[in-house]
Structure 1
């Protein structure tokens, strides 16, 4: 395991976390789909305020931002019982990206709240059946520091926290690379979900004949005894 130094923060960590995640999720297919009506140039411009709004939503729902080694890696974890689609925080969080919402319009808002949220929540209910869990909202590493084990080390610290309270961790992997990383950390894929069929290609760009974008709902269980009958 690499030597890591971490700090946890809330609103003081908002800007650097937004900047880092915007930089490293520049080609994420799910985010590209969410903003698919923008040109790629505009997409890159609006990624930072978009992530600022997403991070605001996480913080408003009890999320904690953890940075590693001076912002080489950052992650956001929500505690048990909290969710970013809480209706009481959607409007306050939206102030973080009003300009983005204006550019993507109502169709973009639908992609954010329904195309993604509805199938993910259905999978979560089927698998966890209301069981309290941690939610890994986001994790990312600067390109020049990837491959050093920083994200893995941060994930292992999250797993230790969840293990100590006997709570599972839920996340959605949006690329095959991230899916395989989580698999190596003993997460399991509980559902493969495709969104945007007939709207976008696999990279998330607009395409009326596209096959859509795939994501993987995944869970880490702290103990075998916490596995529920999910049939």
Structure 2
């Protein structure tokens, strides 16, 4: 199965909307990063779908690479080495310190000096699709690129299950962090005593999959 750049933006939007519509951690991040009140996450599916479309539009308009595999079964948004997409800091400095500043410090420590990287902003598999192997096709393409070009891959996993999938493809978790504490509970309900969500900053360094295969 191949991984190609999208030709149908609407189809890509639908796949991503289907993939993320019910995710509590995603809903929190979508509201926070777009400067929306957290109550928007509880206004129904159409409100969440609009936030997802906003993300795809923003990244498309700023030169990100949006790809799909399995006839839009899986869609992913990658920023390219040397071509970062602007993401404004939020009005929440505690969130900024965790999601932006702490992450930047970890990347500076983990990624060798002078090595650029691809950044995976979002990847979603449409639960309505029956295609198999589409997520693998995306990671096969970009881990091969990273190996061939001597570049890293960076992402944030926002669920434990996603973290485990990325680890399978050679990503290593270098920072477990908490966000949304005192704002939402684990189910995304607004709660001033809520535990929030757990995220994982993960990095793939060139040759990681080969090392995994050798170890196996």
**Shared fold (TM-score greater than 0.5)?**
yes
Deviation, structure 1 residue 80: 0.6
Hey, what does 1:139 align to over in structure 2? 123
Q: Is the 8 A contact 2:81 2:117 kept in 1?
A: yes
The answer to whether residue 22 in structure 2 is matched with residue 27 in structure 1 is: yes
Name the counterpart of 1:69: 70
Moved more, 125-134 or 187-196: 125-134
Compute the displacement of 1:223 (Å).
3.5
Mapped to 2, the partners of 1:200 and 1:119 lie a distance apart of 21
Q: Distance in 2 between matches of 1:52 and 1:111?
A: 23
Q: Do residues 15 (structure 1) and 17 (structure 2) align?
A: no
Verify the 8 A CA contact 2:59 2:85 in the aligned structure 1: yes
How far is the alpha carbon of 1:57 from its aligned partner? 2.5
Runs of 4+ in 1 over 6 A off after TM superposition: none
2:193 match: 209
Residue in structure 2 matching 1:173, options 140, 157, 181: 157
| Counterpart check, 1:45 vs 2:40 | no
* Greater relative contact order, per chain length (Cα 8 Å cut-off, separation 6+): 1
- The answer to which of 26-35 and 65-74 deviates more is 26-35
CA-CA distance at 1:143 after TM superposition: 0.9
Structure 2 SS opposite 1:204: coil
Is there any run of 5+ residues in structure 1 with no aligned partner, and where?
Answer: 91-108, 225-231
What is the Cα-based RMSD across aligned positions, in Å?
2.6
Q: Is 2:97 the counterpart of 1:110?
A: no
Secondary structure, aligned partner of 2:50: helix
- Residue 127 of structure 1 corresponds to 110
2:211 is matched with none
Write the deviation string for residues 32-65 of structure 1: whole angstroms up to 9, x where unpaired: 223331353x242112221122112222332111
Unaligned runs of 5+ in 2: 32-37, 209-216
- TM-score under structure 2 normalisation? 0.79
